[in-house]
Structure 1
Amino acid sequence: MTTSLQDRHKIRFAIKVMSWIVFLIILVIMFYLYSQGYITDKQKLQAIIKSAGVWGPLLFVLFQIFQVIVPILPGGVSSAIGVVIFGTGWGFLWNYIGICLGSFLAFHIAKTFGRPILHFFFKPETIAKYETRTTDHSRFSRFFALAIFIPIAPDDLLCLLAGTTSMSYRRFMIIILLGKPLSIYLYSMGLVSILGRLLPLGIF
């Protein structure tokens, strides 16, 4: 995969524009749901979710998969939205499935296309900040596991970066499956708690 620096800038700009468009659409949808009382009324929220059938969870899982590869919202916000819409239990489950699948896909994309794929999503200085850790693969595996378990770095970049190392699919899957639950729970419930204090949420 060989592209000029100018092409990479154009692609990164297009991804940013697309991310902002999707972000604004999400804001409009959330504002509409809030203004109509769906977010503050548990029964109304459950009714609209039930009317969506299987499409509600499916579309949210697909969104989370996309969100891992092309971050649209700040870390944890999309997880909090899942809990707000689907409730604590189901929200956590759909978050977990979507984020894990997205992480696997990002890892596979990097395994397939190699390190140049990183430059389509991130600035060179951002990549350089973390790629020095890949020189020692055993140390990178430990750092990656810690970063996934207790988020201390951008997961989207690290999943792609891990795909450019010798890390196996098996090791990556174990780290993601075991490390994600805590971070998803802490992020989503923490933000929901903050939102609950700022807004009269009546969904729990």
Structure 2
Amino acid sequence: MEYVQRSRWNILINGSTIAGLIITVLFFIYGIQTHLFTSQAALQGFLQYFGWFAPVIFIIFQAIQVVLPISPGSIGCVGGILIFGSVQGFIYNYIGICIGSMVAFLLSRRYGISYVNNISNKKTFNKYIGWLKKPSFERLFATAIFMPIAPDDFLCYMAGISKMKFKKFILIIILGKPFAIAMYSLMLNLIAQRILPLL
């Protein structure tokens, strides 16, 4: 029964990831062809279809991609920078990722380790689950969240099955996420400025 449940979760996660990646790539191609990423006028015209609701849609998207990997988080970050600019893109990324991280924590706290195991990549799960046995888990978690290279979505799930209090988790996320997102935003913004105009 547990194997069947895990298989269903894997199909859901892998399917949503592939579908989200395809949609993201198609949108990226569309954006290049219509100069959406290189023309301020084209970008403003695109956003007019959504009006004031565009930031809300993006924040919801970023929150969902933490809980369920619709697309790689870095793609969402670069999307925020390209669509809304460096400052607003950073703010919307930050809000969405923080909300999604808190939801991931609460889900794993509610449903336990079997839930985390079912929705996680097996290799990542086996690599990091040993952290829970270490007395320095909270310090390791805070350091990983601060760095822009850790699998922080999974770590948020893992924190939910640890002894960490929700208030402390929120504090780590709020204080640690800005640096990682800022590093992503800085690097991706430089790439966008240097490479996209050549396409």
Q: Distance in 2 between matches of 1:151 and 1:93?
A: 16
Is the CA contact (8 Å cut-off) linking 1:85 and 1:91 kept in structure 2? yes
Q: TM-score normalised to the size of structure 2?
A: 0.92
Q: Distance in 1 between matches of 2:40 and 2:25?
A: 20
Change (3 A) 1:124 1:39: closer
Higher relative contact order (CA 8 A, sep 6+): 1
Q: Give the structure 2 partner of residue 131 of structure 1.
A: 129
Q: Give the structure 2 partner of residue 69 of structure 1.
A: 67
Change (3 A) 1:123 1:47: closer
Is the CA contact (8 Å cut-off) linking 1:49 and 1:86 kept in structure 2? no
**What are the within-5 Å matches in structure 2 for residues 19-38 of structure 1?**
19-38=17-36
Q: Give the structure 1 partner of residue 4 of structure 2.
A: 6
Q: Give the structure 1 partner of residue 190 of structure 2.
A: 193
Change (3 A) 1:18 1:74: closer
Q: Give the structure 2 partner of residue 99 of structure 1.
A: 97
Is the CA contact (8 Å cut-off) linking 2:86 and 2:185 kept in structure 1? no
Aligned length: 198
Change (3 A) 1:168 1:197: same
User: 1:152 Cα deviation (Å)?
Assistant: 4.1
Letter matched to residue 59 of structure 2: V
In structure 1, stretches of 5+ residues that fail to align are none
User: 1:194 Cα deviation (Å)?
Assistant: 1.9
In structure 2, stretches of 5+ residues that fail to align are none
Letter matched to residue 148 of structure 1: I
1:153 matched to 2:150? The reply is yes
Q: TM-score normalised to the size of structure 1?
A: 0.90
Query: For residues 33-85 of structure 1, what are the alpha-carbon distances to aligned partners after superposition, in whole Å with 9 as ceiling and x for unaligned?
Result: 22112211112212322441122111111110111112233342211111101
Q: Distance in 1 between matches of 2:54 and 2:121?
A: 34
DSSP-derived class of the 1:200 partner: helix
Q: CA RMSD in A?
A: 1.7
